Amino acid sequence: MMSDEERKERILRSRMRLRERFLARRDREGGTKGSVQGTGPLNAHGMPHLPVGQSSSRKWPVLDLGVHPAIPEAEWTLELDGACDHPQTLDWPSLMRFEQVVDVSDFHCVTTWSKLGNRWEGVRMLDIAAHACPHENATHVFVHASDGYTTNLPLEEALKEDVLLVHRVNGAPLTREHGGPVRMITPQLYAWKGAKWISRIEFLTSDRLGYWEERGYSNTARPWEDDRYS
């Protein structure tokens, strides 16, 4: 049985290796592709808060496949598998043992509304990945949800500091209709690249299209490039 200190040390070492891979990939690709378009002051990443074609919403509309799984925290699990050294299943107490972070970011829906300044609480996807130790040839993650939804992310997108598995928003537990007890958020991409009711993260050695990507949505989903459809 690994002690908490040994576990933290393994995550730290793996996290540094993953970060080096992410930075190398970003440098090879030359940073953000395409032209950045939007309005308003810049966010923490130097992008306008409102991407082109978006309007600010005080409400948080509910969009999904029409199924709202009821998952008590005591029954929640997250499977980590695929191309990784340490496939495993996390439960709620395991998730709570990771570093809990607070981050404020915006939420951009492909249907042209954005909810700005959300205060999220949860765990960095980077730390989850570091715990599983993806293989050197892993390139993507494939995210599964309890309602049957799926989506895909290049590993370098999934490892960005503001990609979180969140369980609280604006000081309150994440509600069932918004994906509680745990969902993924992807602030630098359109929101469909996250997943409500997250149940499994599969590490891949090649890309695989998710639910909306198979139905004509963009595989890259960059809001500031108006990158909505393929």
- Residue 19: pLDDT band (50, 70, 90) is low
Identify whether the C-beta of residue 199 lies closer than 8 Å to the C-beta of residue 182: no
CATH number at residue 122: 3.90.420.10
Residue 101: the pLDDT is: 97
Could you read off the pLDDT of 183-197 as tens digits, one per residue?
999 999 999 999 999
**230 in a structural domain:** no
Which domain range does residue 98 map to? 4-225
Q: Distance (Å, rounded) from C-alpha 142 to C-alpha 208?
A: 7
Could you read off the pLDDT of 77-113 as tens digits, one per residue?
999 999 999 999 999 999 999 999 999 999 999 999 9
Residue 32 pLDDT > 60: no
pTM comes to 0.87
Residue 180 pLDDT > 90: yes
The domain total for the chain is 1
Work out the average pLDDT over 145-165.
Answer: 96
| pLDDT above 90 coverage of the chain, percent | 77
**50 in a structural domain:** yes
- The mean pLDDT value of the chain amounts to 90
